[in-house]
Amino acid sequence: MNHKTVKKVVILGGGTAGWMSAAMIKKLIGNAVEIELVESESIGTVGVGEATIPPIKLFNSVLGINEAEFLRETKATIKLAIKFENWKEKGESYYHTFGAAGRSLAFCQFHHLLKSANQLEDDSHLWQYDLNYLLAESGKFAHINSKDPLYEVPYAYHFDAGLYAKFLRKFSEKIGVKRTEGMVKHVKQCQTSGFIESLILQDGQEISGDLFIDCSGFKGLLIQEKLSTGYEDWSHWLQCDRAIAVPSKRFDNTLPYTRSIAHSAGWQWRIPLQHRNGNGLVYSSNHCTDQEAQDLLMSNLDSEAIGDLNSFRFTTGRRRKQWNKNVVSIGLSSGFLEPLESTSIHLIQSAIVRLVHTFPHAGINESLINEFNKQSKIETEQIRDFLILHYHVNQRSDSLFWNDMRTMNIPDSLAHKIEIFKENGRLFRDNNDLFQDSSWLQVMVGQGIYPQDYHPIANNIAPEKLKDMLKQIKTIKKEPIASLPSHDEFLATKMRT
């Protein structure tokens, strides 16, 4: 397709996507390529995106970032879970933690054992066996020094998005990424191949490259405005299309989890940072006016607002090809899935890793492009299904929105997943789905799907032995909690190191 060696990568955009791409690509293959990032301070970044999921730790560790420094510089806090409030029904809540309940035996997932025990008058629930849940509820956190998988506590961070981009900019410039300030006014394209040749800035500078990474935000300046790649619209399934956000004063006790509070036409996030809370409302404009949304958010802040309200409009979906010609779109330019499970920053991370794996150092060809696009399609569709699950399986009868969510048609892939769990209690992970069985399990059960059956393998354990085993796991899981510091004490210690 184009056998020109890729020697120079140009990244357009200096938001989270741009700087994450610059840092990781330079770190991993900076010996083979030159990297230049172009951004415009006068345009700015989207300024939101504060909650993450555990793989971010791997990202930071590959970059060699020190955790204490990262927590300090980005005003980050620990995230163990998301607490979903009023989602199944008003007044009820459940956690989707990053942990897993109990201990699975060979070929037998823990929830089958629990269901078998529940038939024996044991009324314990999933979360009582989940250390992430126990820590989240007690507001505690520290690294537990043990190799026992029962003491594993997967976690992620909440951070200030603007500070994270600044942090990564400093990191990237230090390892040799060139940053150019300026607004792109014109994009030069090869008349025959349609490949992008260069970006022309407002001041006349011309930035040429062999491969372009479009991190220009929702508009997708290269992937869409220039290459007209097209968009697959999923808003008939994920109907929220607007959001508003406002910061508020911090609390004395910093929660180690995100709160997601369902309202009549959407949901509200509360993200605790060291210096403030991030708040926002994601809503459907078909079910709620902008003024109603604003009133709803402002009247449900738990502390005083300390900044301006920002609003966002979006269409949920994905770019038809995340990589088209010599443009790879990463971040908002590649599509958008609302922040319900904090997956956007992760999608940036996985696109960067995928690009590194498929990097066309000897020239861009269709086989690499197709593989990249195939993987990104599967990944995004799986996350899409997981998000739809939260909305679709609800028992709320208080608004048209929740009724519409419950009665809408859903993708066949999701319908199958729900049915096989409901009827048989079985969960199967598809194609490296980002969300593992423990995640699907928590959200399905949390939203009110209680399986009718469990696998007979669970009956291989004699009832008394099973009861003892569960009791023992519960005790072991609780053991470390008493000696752990509070989340705030943990952060204070990190600030001092």
Ligand X SMILES: Cc1cc2nc3c(=O)[nH]c(=O)nc-3n(C[C@H](O)[C@H](O)[C@H](O)COP(=O)(O)OP(=O)(O)OC[C@H]3O[C@@H](n4cnc5c(N)ncnc54)[C@H](O)[C@@H]3O)c2cc1C
The one-letter amino acid code at 329 reads: S
Name the one range near ligand X by CB under 6 A: 10-18, 25-33, 123-131, 485-493: 10-18
Smallest distance from ligand X to CB 490, Å:
22
- Binding-site string for ligand X from residue 187 to residue 226, where x marks contact by CB under 6 A and - marks none: ----------------------------xxx---x-----
3-state SS of the chain is: CECCCCCEEEEECCCHHHHHHHHHHHHHHCCCCEEEEEECCCCCCCCCCCECCCHHHHHHHHHCCCHHHHHHHHCCEEECEEEEECCCCCCCEEEEECCCCCCCECCECHHHHHHHHHCCCCCCCHHHHCHHHHHHHHCECCCCCCCCHHHCCCCEEECCHHHHHHHHHHHHHHCCCEEEECCEEEEEECCCCCCEEEEEECCCCEEECCEEEECCCCCCHHHHHHCCCCEEECCCCCCCCEEEEEEECCCCCCCCCEEEEEECCEEEEEEECCCCEEEEEEECCCCCCHHHHHHHHHCCCCCCECCCCEEEECCCEEECCCEECCEEECHHHHEECCHHHCCHHHHHHHHHHHHHHCCCCCCECHHHHHHHHHHHHHHHHHHHHHHHHHHHCCCCCCCHHHHHHHHCCCCHHHHHHHHHHHHHCCCCCCCCCCCCHHHHHHHHHHCCCCCCCCCHHHHHCCHHHHHHHHHHHHHHHHCCHHHCCEHHHHHHHHHHC
Among 17, 23, 281, 383, binds ligand X (CB under 6 A): 17
Smallest distance from ligand X to CB 380, Å:
13
Smallest distance from ligand X to CB 96, Å:
14
Q: Which of 26, 75, 79, 321 is catalytic?
A: 79
Instruction: List the interface residues with ligand X, window 285-344 (CB under 6 A).
Output: 312, 314, 331-333, 339, 342, 344
Size of the site for ligand X (CB under 6 A): 38
Smallest distance from ligand X to CB 242, Å:
9
Among 10, 16, 388, 405, binds ligand X (CB under 6 A): 16
Nearer to ligand X among residue 297 and residue 389 (C-beta): 297
Among 184, 351, 441, 466, binds ligand X (CB under 6 A): 184
Asked whether position 350 contacts ligand X by CB under 6 A, the answer is no
Smallest distance from ligand X to CB 303, Å:
19
Among 114, 161, 240, 449, binds ligand X (CB under 6 A): 161
Nearer to ligand X among residue 111 and residue 242 (C-beta): 242
Nearer to ligand X among residue 45 and residue 322 (C-beta): 45
Asked whether position 49 contacts ligand X by CB under 6 A, the answer is yes
Asked whether position 6 contacts ligand X by CB under 6 A, the answer is no
Instruction: Say whether 79 is catalytic.
Output: yes
Name the one range near ligand X by CB under 6 A: 47-55, 58-66, 82-90, 318-326: 47-55
- Binding-site string for ligand X from residue 229 to residue 248, where x marks contact by CB under 6 A and - marks none: --------------x-x---
Nearer to ligand X among residue 293 and residue 332 (C-beta): 332
**Which residue numbers are catalytic?**
79
- In the complex, the residues that contact ligand X under the rule CB under 6 A are 12-18, 38-40, 43-46, 48-52, 161, 183-184, 215-217, 221, 243, 245, 280, 312, 314, 331-333, 339, 342, 344-345
